[in-house]
Amino acid sequence: MADGLSGLADGTVGGLPLYGVRPDGVEGLLAALPATQADMLRLHGFAGAAGALVLLPGADGLGGAVIGLGKAPALHGFGAAATGLPAGSQWCIAPGDFEPEEAVLGFLLGAYRYDVLKSAKKPSGAVLAQKVAARTKILASAVCGARDLINTPANLLGPAELAAAVAAAGAAHKADMELVSGDDLTARYPALAAVGAGSDRPSQVAILRWRGSQAGDESRLVSLCGKGVVFDTGGYDLKPSAAMLRMKKDMGGAAIMLGLARAIMALDLPVRLELRIGCVENSVSGHAMRPSDVLSTRAGFTVEIGNTDAEGRLVLCDLLAEAAEAKPDWLIDAATLTGAARVALGPDLPGLFCTNDELSDMILAAGRAVHDPLWRLPLHEGYDSWLDSNVADINNVATKPMAGAIIAALYLKRFVPAGISWAHVDVYAWNDSARPGRPEGGEAQSLRALLQMIEGNA
């Protein structure tokens, strides 16, 4: 495995050809292949259907393979190939009716597996590292690194470990790092501190600041914030056991924002970058916040706790308030914030809320271009009064059991000053079952879309 990626081999020569073909290209491929290989495809009735994989004979045994792409993006088609090829085999993707680097990226994302805790590893087929573009390696590493963090059990990834992952990424790219904890954290991020008060594992905020080698003082300031709740019990408003099973992924927004930051730095984009990750655990103890408590926030607003399980917005509101003080050109956050977004959009479409139509359009277009889609939801001001509190400036939940994703976004919007171009992404960060290019487990939804947008408009 090269560059820490499953599916990437260290070899430079000797890779077998892997053909990707759509239904209308089957006859052309049959005509181009040696007769024995074409006969093998005909024997299998190969018609280019998505995910259909046929191994081709060669003089010394295996001579190549063909993967059907159907009408699916090449990203997903080659993701299917990665899981079906013989272990230890090495491949070069042959030219075809697709973008070569999209195909390679799909292969690398499909070959991913979280097996660091297994005693027996299952090697996959691999593409030759020297034939993969540097940008593709960077992007695959960013996505798979985010997946690794999301998949890591909460006993192995606490607030300190998540903060350390941010620090390691910063050190790799010579970024300025700041880790905030203890009394300083309580003073700077009082609402965030209250979320983590119930845990024996102290909260931290990890802040990374970096500037591209071609970035000047007037270059875009891109500020990223991520919800890093390493495990969410729900607090005193305790989740049922079934709802807790995947709560190690409640730091998915942090993993995605960290992966995005890693890619921005590795690509040396001409921007100024700030990253803030709130690393906390929402636990139950005598120190935990209670329903009806009133908290302070960095922005000066007081917040009544209507539900302790609506903790992610408490983490983000302090981070957003601080990030906005630098007046970034783009302020972007990601969080596994609401189940309501999943009810509205399902698991595959992150909800996008945005205060700037141009920024929203750029993000949505970028997502379509790289097959990493988002869907915009409204910041409907008519629901804003649902957050009113009788005892504080604002409640952290609504008085009505509707529009939960919109309400959460409206809560966050209170902490973003007018005039700031802000985008909030409500992600699921998980694949419930394995699909081509998308293994079951943690997923870096929106990372590639946001990178495409930033890279194309920096």
DSSP code string of 6-19: TTEES-SS-PEEEE
Instruction: Report d(CA 53, CA 71) in Å as an integer.
Output: 15
Please indicate whether residue 313 is annotated as part of the active site. yes
**E strand segments, 218-286:** 221-232, 272-282
β-strand pairing of 351-354 with 375-376: parallel
Instruction: Report d(CA 341, CA 243) in Å as an integer.
Output: 16
For residues 206 and 177, the answer to whether their CB atoms sit within 8 Å is yes
Please indicate whether residue 239 is annotated as part of the active site. yes
Instruction: Report d(CA 62, CA 53) in Å as an integer.
Output: 14
- Between the CA of residue 164 and those of 158, 171, 251, 436, what are the distances in Å? 10, 10, 14, 32
Distance of alpha carbon 446 from the chain centroid: 6
For residues 187 and 297, the answer to whether their CB atoms sit within 8 Å is no
Q: Which SS3 state, helix, strand or coil, does residue 206 take?
A: strand
Alpha-helix residue ranges (DSSP H) falling in 126-233: 134-151, 159-172, 182-188, 190-196
Q: At what angle do helices 447-457 and 252-266 cross, to 10 degrees?
A: 40
The catalytic position among 248, 272, 276, 313 is 313
What is the largest distance, in Å, between two alpha-carbon atoms of the chain? Answer: 80
Please list the active-site residues.
239, 313
